[in-house]
Structure 1
Amino acid sequence: MFTTRPELVGTFGMVASTHWLASAVGMRVLEAGGNAFDAAAAAGFTLSVVEPHLNGPGGDAPILGHRASDGHTFVVCGQGPAPAAATTAAFDDLGLGLVPGTGHLAAVVPGAFGAWLDLLARYGTLPLEDVLGPAIGYARDGFPLVRAAVGTIATVADMMATHWPTSAAVYLPLPRAGARFRNPDLAATFERLVAESRAAESRAASSGSAASREAGIEAARRAFYAGFVADAVDAFQSGTAVMDSSGRAHRGLLRGDDLARWHATEEPTASVRFAGRTVHKTLAWGQGPVLLQQLTMLDALGVDALVRDATTDEGLVELVHVAVEVAKLAFADREAWYGDVPDVPLDALLSPAYASARAALVGSAAVPDVRPGAPDGRVPWLPRVLTAHPGAAPDVAPDVAPAVGTGEPTVSPIGLSPGDTCHVDVVDRWGNRVSATPSGGWLQSSPVVPGLGFPLPTRAQMFWLEPGLPNSLAPGKRPRTTLSPAMVLDDDGHGFAFGTPGGDQQDQWTVPFLLRHLLGGDDLQAAIDAPSWHSSGVPSSFYPRTHTPNGLVAESRLGEVVLAGLAARGHLVEDVGPWQLGRLSAAGVRADGMLVAAANPRGAQGYAAGR
């Protein structure tokens, strides 16, 4: 099959990400003797500078890692929780039926910075100064601002100029695409954190401590979550009302104490067996298990044969149809069962028996309904809007466009965008692997915190204000994030890290990639390059929480005959052109021990680097 670029193969190390500068920085760290965990953190910090419309240091970052020495596979949760003051009553008092998608009220504890520090402290080898240094250099000395970032700034330029002066000071006048762009306040924030880290390292070393590196990392964490960063966040949220997508100005609910109470956590993965390997995702506080549910249902439907038959138009129609109907079933379960609650019936949801029962619902025609299952015989409970008014959102008419800056940024309902979030995959010469999907803290969704150079995350928009649901708003609770890093591991430890930006589409775009690579025999690059699709009938996790029953978004490279065949089965097909869906990347260890990597050509930003 023709590929846009080669799958990289080497022996020393590989980094693949959604921005060429982040991939280059990751390789620089590997070349300097760092391991995959050091390199991933350095690439992640760099992404927070060079893709400010897609993520930031105040955003979110679930990180999936694999330590080769003992096979330990884990998740570092960088998803911050809702503030202590964030109650449904607080929003009722403001007359809001949804958490606004922009502004102060949607802020949760910024988790990205703490997650990268936790990964470094537990598994890295380099001091923070070496890992954060490249990001400081780009923020201080400048970098070429990508065209998508400039386009995003343009969409909110009036908002910044009129209502968000702290953002206007950073991003206006409108930059020119490709021109050198600097963020001196962000550079100063990072430099101050490094200074705190360096001083603590020096004190620990002078006292004879063998853990001076870890002491330095902890000092930077305290400065962020209980020091000058937390103080600035508290003052801005409590003291300044800002305009949001409700059309009104509100003060925020996030306080310094919320930051001080939080620490990134290490957690186990959720996993299933598929194609003779183990596929790892986050637990169900995120949407990751929907990929696992799709794979178990596809297994029950004989997906091996479907992939073999997909060399014909008729066979490809059947494969895409089945995959889309399976996705709708899995995401319906997400709406009914997933959330940061202790009683998610995950074992039942991932069981072969449940998968077989759910797979039996897939027929020859598209079904528009949101149909959750009943794992362990429990009765599913959907948000009222999904049962009363399919396709609409509470207090939002179906024909009203979302406000500027809301939702997963730069992704339209039909996916007409080169990106929305970031992703990075790393493998080092020892076989350690990292998959991470940093996001949030978008420049278009929340105003820049004065003096810090970055905005806060707006993930609280993902909560329901309707009580009693697994993803209902509650103080100290994590919103059910769409961020979904992933890893596939063989029994002998070979395998790869992978993922993509894309909001609700993340765990749909990875399905054709995995089918082509694990069952169809394509290499990583060919599987990434292949035409993709997703269902827009999946309820959106973002304000204003709408969906299109039976909507199917597809790349035209599937072919006119295939798209017509899908329409004949009842899918509302939206052809978005040849190269629009997904920003996948992957890096790992091949069965023969060689290191491999690949990155997405769509959007002209993603690159893999390695040797």
Structure 2
Amino acid sequence: MSLVNQSPFTTRPEIDGTFGVVASTHWIATAVGMGILEKGGNAFDAAVATAFTLQVVEPHLNGPGGDAPIIVHDVRKGRPEVICGQGPAPAGATIAHYRSLGLDLVPGTGLLAACIPGPFDAFMLMLRDYGTMRLREVLEAAISYARHGYPLVERIPATIATVEELFREHWPTSAELYLPGGQVPAAGSLFANPRLASTYERILQEAESGGGSREAEIERARRSWSQGFVAEAIDRFCRMQEVMDTSGRRHRGVLTGADMAAWEASVEAPISYDYGRYTVLKCGPWTQGLATLQQLALLSGFALDGLDPTGPDFIHLQVEAAKLAFADRDTFYGDPAFVDVPVEQLLGETYNGERRRLIGDRASLELRPGTIPGYGKAIGAREGGERVAVGATGAGEPTVGRIQRAAAPAEDARRLEKAGAVRGDTVHFDIVDRWGNMVSGTPSGGWLQSSPVIPELGFPLGTRAQMFWLDEEHPAALMPGKRPRSTLSPTMALRDGEPYLAWGSPGGDQQDQWIPQFFLRHVHAGMNLQEAIDAPAWHTEHFPSSFWPRTSRPGVVVVEGRVPKATIEELQRRGHIVEIGEDWSEGRLTAASRDGVRRKAAANPRGMQGYAAGR
């Protein structure tokens, strides 16, 4: 009997070997990462090469101007660590400045939403302190693909088409690169970004010019980025260009070369929650990763073993736990270097015992954050039966201070696209090498549709600052030097105290919905990694989005068409507003594990571009 027929949820075999595995959201990046392992590199060398390749082949999902939170486990150190590649807000990014521009939300596109770019320095830190290879060895594949071209996956030209008018009318530097010959490029055609290739070639040339150790090379590369020609080009572009954004007006940026020079990636401890024999690890509350841990803390009080992972009980419990966790996200989370986030209380049994009682047989249609005296601030108050907050209704319209319930999906998407707010997504990779080193990384931001291309560099800046609130009292308030409360959420888990599993997914607010779904299917339903990825999935849009214009759709659950009809009918009976998507439309998970000498991996088949490899 074939592998496909062994399970109703398997599209591919789970990769299984003893040498090493790489899983990523694009087959080219997976191949590059596996090639590094084959050359003798470790998981960290492979991660750097994979990440730079993903910047090239998925420019609609990530880029050098974006962000990169990473969780690593180095067998030499014997402990998991977080590498923070999330750049903070620039010195000029103050609430007073944005309000003086007539804004009450940070725009979703353009220069005002740019934080300090984080990926380059984060991956240089990883290569220097955890890796073994020279800079050229890990950069050469990405440079080659940028210089000579790669085949465009369907979503890249589709994304370009949605912002074609914006590029032509307002962002000519983006039109020059992404509309070659004045046309949207065709899916499957070879596409090159020679300017980006030149940027990395120049960094490499400057890094190698002084000779010496690999560490010395890496340090020179970091200086070329943050204090050299890259920072100078970014500073000049932000000072000289007035850029159209989702406010419907043109604005200059506030990011400067001084901001670039003052910031470096850093290493910190992860936060964790013990779930049975597993310890699940996340980045700190400057991301939304804590929401996965809160869901597990709530669900630990329910008997999930034996539940059908496509059944109404399983889906209802996870969705209701997500609603409570994300309500807390929007009330308590923020950069712990600036605000005190009550992580221990949020994961404690006393708090979760009380919250768990809110999960009944009916779907909640309310946003219900918890109360911890002295901490947090709920988004707004109630006025006339509607939730009030700092918000905006659309590009160019007067801001009215309301989180809007979104229009019907198609109508809402068209409105956002017209405003230039085509939401980017994210990439992800998981790697385990023969020695047992593990990496889980979720680079994002700096999307081709987020901000105009800086012509000297071949890439745009990111827009992560849109996740700040322009409310001084909120934990996620905009402040210079502060990290935005990001949606980016790599994950790692120990089993019986030993490093076991790395996984994650693109998807914005959906990341920490699909991530716990995968884990619960693996732990409670006994699915292998590929089965747990392939199984029918869902997400709720109950809470305000992290992205401009911060809409919410209370009670809405979007499920894949493969979810059984009987399950959908029962969810509706319980009060959920169920929308049925395409059969293969939810999640872009990848995963990798180590179990003794075994190395396993899996990747999402949706979209036909994610792949796992190994031996």
TM-score when normalising by structure 1:
0.93
Partner residue in 1 for 2:597: 593
| 358, 364, 383: which one aligns with 1:361 | 358
Say whether residues 1:215 and 2:216 are aligned partners.
Answer: yes
Secondary structure in 1 aligned to 2:68?
A: coil
Residue deviations 1:529-574, cap 9 Å, x none? 0001111102210000011111111112121110111011111101
Which moved further from structure 2: 397-406 or 496-505?
A: 397-406
Root-mean-square deviation (Å)? 1.6
Which moved further from structure 2: 435-444 or 338-347?
A: 338-347
| 338, 342, 347: which one aligns with 1:345 | 342
Residue deviations 1:235-280, cap 9 Å, x none? 0001110111111111111111011110001010000111311100
- 1:56-455 to 2 correspondence within 5 Å? 56-172=63-179, 173-200=183-210, 202=211, 205=212, 212-304=213-305, 308-310=306-308, 316-340=311-335, 341-375=338-372, 377-378=373-374, 380-384=376-380, 389-390=386-387, 394-396=391-393, 398=405, 399=407, 401-404=415-418, 409=423, 420-455=425-460
| 549, 570, 573: which one aligns with 2:575 | 570
For structure 1, the residue ranges without an aligned partner over 5 or more in a row are 206-211, 411-419
- Give the superposition deviation at 1:329: 0.4
Secondary structure in 2 aligned to 1:217?
A: helix
1:488–1:18 CA distance, 2 compared to 1 (3 A): same
| 471, 475, 494: which one aligns with 2:476 | 471
Say whether residues 1:498 and 2:503 are aligned partners.
Answer: yes
Task: Tell me if the contact between 1:373 and 1:380 (Cα under 8 Å) persists in the aligned partners.
Answer: no
Task: Tell me if the contact between 2:84 and 2:267 (Cα under 8 Å) persists in the aligned partners.
Answer: yes
- Give the superposition deviation at 1:106: 0.5
- Give the superposition deviation at 1:68: 2.0
Partner residue in 1 for 2:400: none
Secondary structure in 2 aligned to 1:303?
A: coil
Task: Tell me if the contact between 1:245 and 1:403 (Cα under 8 Å) persists in the aligned partners.
Answer: no
CA distance in 1, matches of 2:422, 2:429: 18
CA distance in 1, matches of 2:421, 2:588: 18
For structure 2, the residue ranges without an aligned partner over 5 or more in a row are 1-6, 394-403
Partner residue in 2 for 1:209: none
CA distance in 1, matches of 2:67, 2:584: 28
| 3, 22, 29: which one aligns with 1:22 | 29
1:607–1:385 CA distance, 2 compared to 1 (3 A): farther
CA distance in 1, matches of 2:204, 2:287: 31
Residue deviations 1:474-498, cap 9 Å, x none? 1111110000000111235241110
Task: Tell me if the contact between 1:8 and 1:596 (Cα under 8 Å) persists in the aligned partners.
Answer: yes
CA distance in 1, matches of 2:421, 2:71: 24
Secondary structure in 2 aligned to 1:220?
A: helix
CA distance in 2, matches of 1:147, 1:474: 38
- Give the superposition deviation at 1:395: 2.9
Task: Tell me if the contact between 1:516 and 1:527 (Cα under 8 Å) persists in the aligned partners.
Answer: yes
CA distance in 2, matches of 1:269, 1:329: 22
How many residues align? The count is 585
CA distance in 1, matches of 2:386, 2:32: 48
Runs of 4+, deviation exceeding 4 Å: 385-388, 397-400, 403-408
CA distance in 1, matches of 2:344, 2:216: 39
1:379–1:286 CA distance, 2 compared to 1 (3 A): closer
1:355–1:38 CA distance, 2 compared to 1 (3 A): same
- Give the superposition deviation at 1:322: 1.1
Task: Tell me if the contact between 2:308 and 2:525 (Cα under 8 Å) persists in the aligned partners.
Answer: no
- Whichever residue aligns with residue 67 of structure 2, its letter is D
- Give the superposition deviation at 1:310: 2.1
Task: Tell me if the contact between 1:286 and 1:482 (Cα under 8 Å) persists in the aligned partners.
Answer: yes
CA distance in 1, matches of 2:382, 2:137: 49
Task: Tell me if the contact between 2:73 and 2:437 (Cα under 8 Å) persists in the aligned partners.
Answer: yes
Say whether residues 1:607 and 2:611 are aligned partners.
Answer: yes
Task: Tell me if the contact between 2:390 and 2:471 (Cα under 8 Å) persists in the aligned partners.
Answer: no
- Whichever residue aligns with residue 302 of structure 1, its letter is A
- Give the superposition deviation at 1:409: 2.6
Which moved further from structure 2: 433-442 or 293-302?
A: 293-302
Secondary structure in 1 aligned to 2:281?
A: strand
